């Protein structure tokens, strides 16, 4: 593996009595597109500000490219930020905004000019050099903010919720644009966002944060397919969780009971599970199949229920199914319209059978560690 460009060791930061960051350990590698996701107030922005040098951690160490950042002020750190509000200078033109970081550090005017021109081309803003920020659209402002940070050729680019002010279509475009820029420039990007979709679609690796702690660091696929805990499972995509108890372990599979039916469910288990303990069984909505109640004996992992509501989502529909046996449990089942031809007549109030394969269910710790 490459050397970590950023190494965070045990960083803790308190605001009053609230712990914004608790014992954060994290390594981010050169040339990586790294995302930090979490709900608002989880400490992701604080972590970003610690990296940039705007917050001083109470304890812990931060190394950027092997150098301890303890006494290095923000203006001498080899990283740049794209701010959520863009924070462009309103009294400067696009050209001056982008050139600012070069001019203040004494780069000769001619070189300044060439580098700015190059960046303008790279972010597709050529021709808008002499516009003022108030004359630009949201997407253009975003590009200027990107160019202004990238023109410094930082080792790491920090992006603080960069796409949150854009509309859905533009956001999608900019996501791809970000990935393109990152790959072509080879700079390490750290994207901070509350939008798990954004993180999944752009990043090579993702750190999920909650309450000032990192819950899991993994690739998008791993994060979605095998979340290590309840929080990550629920935050990245949606998931149906049912309380269960492990009865038997047979090689890779383990059998659990739920108390909803007499049936045993089989789940691909993890290493450190023990018989008799309570866990959560998690099934993603799109991994569940719906059929009519008639062919009940055909499947292994099955639950009967009544369709409570149907939400039409265009490409698919979400069926909200009340589980027979416990009226309070509503399972969400997502069915894409292309493969539900046989279920076309499913409607509200109908009794259905939900079933899934052993490999598509997850066994998660009940408590949130």
Number of alpha carbons in the 13 Å side-chain half-sphere of residue 212: 14
Report which of 158, 157, 120 is spatially closest to residue 140, judged by C-alpha positions.
120
- Stretch of residues binding another protein (CB under 8 A), selected from 35-43, 91-99, 206-214, 348-356: 91-99
Query: Which residue in 68, 85, 135, 277 binds another protein (CB under 8 A)?
Result: 85
Burial of 227-242, coded b for 16+ CB within 10 Å and e otherwise, reads bbbbbbbbbbbebbbb
CA distance 268 to 165: 41
Least distance (Å) between residue 321 CB and another protein: 46
* DSSP reduced 3-state for 235: helix
CA distance 332 to 329: 10
| Count of chain residues binding another protein (CB under 8 A) | 35
Q: Which helix (H) or strand (E) holds 150?
A: helix 138-150
Q: Which residue, 123 or 364, is less far from another protein as judged by CB? A: 123
Q: Does 76 bind another protein (CB under 8 A)?
A: yes
> Per CB under 8 A, which of residues 128..147 are in contact with another protein?
130, 132
Least distance (Å) between residue 105 CB and another protein: 4
Residue position matching structure tokens 């644009």: 177
Query: Which residue in 6, 26, 42, 100 binds another protein (CB under 8 A)?
Result: 100
Least distance (Å) between residue 75 CB and another protein: 5
- Stretch of residues binding another protein (CB under 8 A), selected from 76-84, 243-251, 257-265, 329-337: 76-84
CB atoms under 10 Å from CB of 141, counted, come to 19
DSSP code string of 242-286: EEEEEEEEETTEEEEE-SSSS--EEEE--TT--TT-EEEEEE-GG
Least distance (Å) between residue 128 CB and another protein: 12
Q: Which residue, 90 or 186, is less far from another protein as judged by CB? A: 90
End-to-end distance of the chain based on CA atoms, in angstroms? 29
Q: Which residues contact 216 (CB under 8 A, 6 or more apart)?
A: 207, 208, 223, 227, 228, 229, 232
CA distance 190 to 18: 25
Least distance (Å) between residue 247 CB and another protein: 55
- Stretch of residues binding another protein (CB under 8 A), selected from 14-22, 40-48, 99-107, 344-352: 99-107
Q: Does 91 bind another protein (CB under 8 A)?
A: yes
Query: Which residue in 105, 126, 137, 164 binds another protein (CB under 8 A)?
Result: 105
> Per CB under 8 A, which of residues 169..198 are in contact with another protein?
none
Q: Does 362 bind another protein (CB under 8 A)?
A: no
Q: Which residue, 45 or 301, is less far from another protein as judged by CB? A: 45
Least distance (Å) between residue 158 CB and another protein: 9
Describe the crossing of helices 168-185 and 138-150 by its angle, rounded to 10 degrees: 20
Q: Does 63 bind another protein (CB under 8 A)?
A: no
Q: Does 1 bind another protein (CB under 8 A)?
A: no
- Interface residues with another protein (CB under 8 A)? 52, 54, 73-77, 79-81, 83-85, 87-93, 95-96, 99-101, 104-105, 109, 112-113, 130, 132, 148-149, 152
């Amino acid at each position: 593996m490459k050397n970590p460009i950023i190494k965070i060791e045990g960083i803790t930061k308190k605001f009053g009595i609230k712990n914004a960051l608790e014992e954060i350990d994290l390594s981010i590698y050169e040339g990586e597109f790294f995302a930090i996701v979490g709900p608002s107030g989880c400490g992701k922005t604080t972590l970003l500000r610690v990296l940039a040098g705007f917050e001083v951690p109470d304890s812990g160490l931060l190394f950027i490219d092997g150098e301890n950042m303890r006494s290095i002020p923000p203006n001498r750190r080899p990283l740049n930020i794209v701010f959520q509000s863009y924070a462009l200078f309103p009294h400067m033109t696009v050209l001056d905004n982008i050139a600012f970081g070069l001019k203040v550090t004494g780069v000769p005017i001619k070189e300044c000019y060439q580098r700015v021109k190059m960046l303008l081309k790279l972010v597709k803003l050529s021709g808008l050099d002499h516009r003022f920020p108030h004359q630009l659209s949201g997407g253009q402002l975003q590009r200027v903010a990107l160019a202004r940070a990238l023109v410094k050729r930082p080792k790491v680019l920090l992006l603080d919720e960069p796409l949150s002010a854009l509309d859905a279509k533009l956001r999608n475009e900019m996501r791809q644009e970000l990935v393109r820029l990152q790959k072509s420039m080879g700079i390490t990007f750290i994207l901070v966002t509350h939008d798990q979709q954004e993180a999944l679609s752009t990043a090579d690796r993702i750190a999920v944060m909650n309450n000032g702690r990192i819950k899991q660091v993994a690739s998008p696929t791993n994060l979605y397919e095998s979340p290590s805990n309840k929080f990550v499972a629920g935050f990245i995509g949606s998931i149906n969780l049912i309380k269960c108890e492990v009865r038997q372990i047979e090689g890779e599979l383990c059998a659990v009971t739920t108390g909803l039916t007499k049936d045993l469910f089989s789940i691909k288990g993890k290493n450190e599970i023990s018989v008799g303990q309570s866990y959560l069984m998690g099934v993603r909505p799109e991994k569940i199949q719906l059929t009519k109640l008639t062919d009940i004996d055909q499947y292994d992992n099955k639950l009967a229920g009544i369709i409570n509501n149907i939400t039409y989502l265009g490409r698919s529909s979400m069926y909200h199914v009340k589980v027979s046996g416990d009226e309070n449990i509503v399972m969400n089942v997502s069915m894409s319209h292309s493969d539900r031809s046989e279920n076309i007549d499913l409607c509200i109030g109908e009794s259905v059978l939900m079933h899934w394969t052993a490999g598509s269910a997850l066994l998660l710790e009940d408590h949130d560690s």
